[in-house]
Structure 1
Amino acid sequence: MSNGRWNLNMLQDLFLPWEVEAIMTIPIARNVGEDKWAWNWTNHGGFTVKSAYYQAMEAKKTQATSTSKSVGGSIWKRLWHSSLPTKIKNFGWRVLHNGIAVKANLLYRGMGEDRRCPVCGEGDETIKHALTLCRDARSIWRLSPLRMEIQEMEDENVSQWCEKLAATIVQESWWEIFWNLLWGIWLRRNAWIFKRKQVSVKDLIDKAMRFTIEYQAAKESVKDGLRSEGPGKKKWHRPREGSLKLNTDAAVLAGGMIGFGGVVRDSMGEVRLACCGRMDGRFAPDIAEAMAIREVLAIAGAAGFREIILENDCLKLISQLKKHVLENSSFGNIVKDILDYVQAFNVVSFNHICRSGNTVAHNLA
């Protein structure tokens, strides 16, 4: 750790890629207190019977997945309840039921004459070949964050392969990455056949990772009311005369990065300070917003500002800062950091602003 952030180069030297990914989801509080117990399966870190019951049911489902022999059982339930767009879930259902239009399936139904893979030309294009055994598909799985070496599956079909992986990929984010990669391989195949467009292996992996993060962030923002707005667009309003207003925002970027931005403006709307930066880490949206406030507040304090109105579009965060609520969680630790920073100011007030009124800070992030 350095300056409240993970040392990415050191982590990459010491841990495997998937371990680094997991570590980078843990935000670091700068004012570390005493160790305390926290329940991992609630946002606030407190135990509830409901969360324990839910986890018991999930464990039961996972066990059923590892022993299930039927397609469309536990693996389909897990896929359907994943944080994935409906189009990818429907694609997954067709994959599990041998229902996508590869050449072998088309020929079986009396359409077409050639079974050869149009991408590599080295074998019959079955679903198994197109998504796993094709030369480029093997490269994608090997170079992706999943680091999978695809072996010849002999009598095993794709649905059985997916069931086996479902038993080993416990973390939901990796399960979602797996399906986004499968979807990307299929789209890449179609782009070559119908448009003669060659999508590089690197671009496909980057797009799958970026899509996984952005889709999850969008769902979380809706769930937590981070971007809740009334009808119509709402604009930023200048503070009263003699006051300064600080707007902050965070953005989830490609490559496991979080962007932050902040701008201080006076009663005339003139910019008194603007800043932006990036942090390594794959944080939940609410944590990213809290870390953005922490970073920008420190910069504003170093610039000499002591009386500000702080605005952000994360309703949950602003609500807890106003009420001085400290969850027993990573999010609560960052909120405590912010409240500690505030002690160095003369006056700080917190306001929630709708997404459309926070565009300058958003563009900086």
Structure 2
Amino acid sequence: MMNGGYEDENEGNNSDNDVEPILTIEPWMLQGLEGPDDDDIFAKKIQRVALDGEEHIYFNSADASNILGVPLTMRNIDDKLIWPHTKHNHFSVKTAYHFITVQDSVSGVTTSSTPAFWQKIWRLKLPQHIKNFFWRLCHGILPTRDNLVRRGLSVITDCPRCFTSQESICHIMLGCSWAQMIWLISPLGYFPPLSSDAAFFDWLVDRIMCDSPDVVIWIALICWTIWTGRNALIFQDKMYSPQESVLKAQSLFMEIQDSSTSPGCTQSHSLRIPRSREAYRWQCPSRHHYKMNTDVAKISDVEWSIGVVIRSDQGHLFMTGIKTILALDEVAVAEALGIRWGLQIAQQCHVSKLKVETDCEVVVNSFNAASATDLSLVSDIMADCRSIGAELESFSLRHIYRESNHVAHFVAKQLYHFAPCIWFDAFPISVLNLVNSDVLT
């Protein structure tokens, strides 16, 4: 027992972060992995060892984390080939052509990219000066300190904010802890852990080509506020907090939406700034139902925390849970795993009527639009959720604004050091205060 809760025993491989993962192997797993040369690349990746009379295969820590971070479905389904360059992992000639053109680029995005790529940038509903900035960012020609050195100037190359790394485009936008905080508290809620300009440009191309215009606009606005914040620090000695920078980006986004007069213009619900106070409020479920809210938070390059909160039709706490998992660098995958874990808990607690809410629209869309052509991990996990939900007397899943999901967000972000733990009583005071605030509002 711990603070009125119990530790979750169903952790599997994902809970043993202190032990180097060693996987038992079958003969077929080694086929094709060993070359004639002792310096074969695979020999550097793996090492066969004997343990308790069985042959095992040892992966280095990074590879092992990536392997263990691939979630498995609860259902017994066949393996399948996937195409990793689309959202739904389904092959298309368009994305194959895009992939080839990107690979031909020497240093990230260059003028050799497809015309369609640049058209997407110029068609974004952004102020012209931000479009110009985004164009320069995609070309990799922002006057960062490392770019200035390449142009022959003698300048200090350290990041002017954290002084821990050379000021490259990737470091400014993703590597600096100040920039990372901006990404995390923005409506996007994540940042990719990349360490090179080339990797950053590849990620940027994928987002521009594959994501909705609203998502791309948010990426552009976040990068813009990071860049202008950097310039304010260097040239005006002004220090803006991450919260101030996100508020600036939100203000710009609302101005863009207000000025949009296109008849067919729609907004992504997960990124739109809600106008009415009602949209922010958590609401009790209907009589005899329970409501479950889930959220996730990234706590390291490969580790996420999952927060689950279940409340009664009176708004009283029934259960709070926290757990950490290894997962891919995709927030939607982590969010889907959070919903699945919460459903498993609810099922074990014999909850028969359940309404589930999440602030991740991607998983809700995947749940509602099950498609045989969607081969993504999110689709597989949400199929598990549909299977669990079908066993309940009443079940629904819907999208809400992040402000309505603040209790689950707090649990995921602030209580991960308790993980794994589930409370049914003696709840943390901080959680009780937030829940009571929802009921009284």
Same fold per TM (> 0.5)?
A: yes
Q: Give the 5 Å matches for 1:36-185.
A: 36-47=80-91, 51-65=92-106, 92-94=140-142, 100=148, 105=153, 172=203
The letter of the residue matching 1:15 is N
Superposition deviation, residue 358 in structure 1: 1.5
Distance in 2 (CA, whole Å) between partners of 1:168 and 1:266 is 46
Distance in 1 (CA, whole Å) between partners of 2:105 and 2:338 is 41
The letter of the residue matching 2:74 is R
Distance in 2 (CA, whole Å) between partners of 1:223 and 1:22 is 34
Superposition deviation, residue 167 in structure 1: 7.6
| Residue 254 (str. 1) matches residue 321 (str. 2) | no
| Residue 238 (str. 1) matches residue 238 (str. 2) | no
For 1:340, the equivalent position in structure 2 comes to 387
Contact 2:293 2:357 in 1 (8 A): yes
Contact 1:245 1:264 in 2 (8 A): yes
Distance in 2 (CA, whole Å) between partners of 1:94 and 1:170 is 13
Distance in 1 (CA, whole Å) between partners of 2:13 and 2:65 is 17
Q: 2:398 aligns with which of 351, 354, 359?
A: 351
Distance in 1 (CA, whole Å) between partners of 2:68 and 2:13 is 12
Distance in 2 (CA, whole Å) between partners of 1:33 and 1:249 is 27
Superposition deviation, residue 125 in structure 1: 5.1
SS at match of 2:106: helix
Distance in 2 (CA, whole Å) between partners of 1:266 and 1:342 is 18
Distance in 1 (CA, whole Å) between partners of 2:362 and 2:306 is 18
Superposition deviation, residue 39 in structure 1: 2.8
Contact 1:24 1:283 in 2 (8 A): no
The worse-fitting range, judged by mean Cα deviation, of 34-43 and 1-10 is: 1-10
Distance in 2 (CA, whole Å) between partners of 1:356 and 1:310 is 16
Superposition deviation, residue 28 in structure 1: 2.5
Q: 1:166 to 1:65 in 2, by over 3 A?
A: farther
The letter of the residue matching 1:301 is Q
Distance in 2 (CA, whole Å) between partners of 1:74 and 1:25 is 35
| Residue 10 (str. 1) matches residue 33 (str. 2) | no
Distance in 1 (CA, whole Å) between partners of 2:70 and 2:16 is 13
SS at match of 1:93: coil
What TM-score do the two structures reach when normalised by structure 1? 0.57
Per-residue Cα deviation, 1:308-343 (whole angstroms, up to 9, x for no partner): 111222233224434555632211111122122224
Contact 1:243 1:266 in 2 (8 A): yes
Per-residue Cα deviation, 1:183-230 (whole angstroms, up to 9, x for no partner): x9xx99x999x99xxxxxxxxxxx9xxxxxxxxxxxxxx997545464
For 1:297, the equivalent position in structure 2 comes to 343
The letter of the residue matching 1:93 is I
Distance in 1 (CA, whole Å) between partners of 2:98 and 2:305 is 37
Q: 1:21 to 1:227 in 2, by over 3 A?
A: farther
Q: 1:94 to 1:347 in 2, by over 3 A?
A: closer
Superposition deviation, residue 295 in structure 1: 0.9
| Residue 278 (str. 1) matches residue 324 (str. 2) | yes
| Residue 35 (str. 1) matches residue 66 (str. 2) | no
Distance in 1 (CA, whole Å) between partners of 2:201 and 2:111 is 17
Contact 1:258 1:281 in 2 (8 A): yes
Distance in 2 (CA, whole Å) between partners of 1:223 and 1:55 is 28
Contact 2:297 2:305 in 1 (8 A): yes
Distance in 2 (CA, whole Å) between partners of 1:136 and 1:350 is 43
SS at match of 1:46: coil
For 2:44, the equivalent position in structure 1 comes to none
SS at match of 1:28: coil
The letter of the residue matching 1:293 is I
Contact 1:224 1:316 in 2 (8 A): no
Name the count of aligned residue pairs.
287
Superposition deviation, residue 237 in structure 1: 1.2
Superposition deviation, residue 266 in structure 1: 1.7
Distance in 1 (CA, whole Å) between partners of 2:15 and 2:93 is 31
Superposition deviation, residue 244 in structure 1: 1.5
Q: 1:303 to 1:227 in 2, by over 3 A?
A: farther
Q: 1:251 to 1:136 in 2, by over 3 A?
A: closer
SS at match of 1:30: coil
**Any unmatched runs of 5+ in structure 1?**
106-123, 141-145, 147-164, 177-183, 196-206, 208-221
Superposition deviation, residue 239 in structure 1: 1.6
**Any unmatched runs of 5+ in structure 2?**
1-9, 23-57, 122-129, 169-174, 176-195, 208-225, 243-265, 413-441
Superposition deviation, residue 72 in structure 1: 6.6
SS at match of 2:356: strand
Superposition deviation, residue 10 in structure 1: 3.4
Contact 1:239 1:245 in 2 (8 A): yes
Distance in 1 (CA, whole Å) between partners of 2:89 and 2:310 is 34
Per-residue Cα deviation, 1:262-299 (whole angstroms, up to 9, x for no partner): 21212221111111222122331221211110111112
Distance in 2 (CA, whole Å) between partners of 1:167 and 1:251 is 26
The letter of the residue matching 2:295 is D
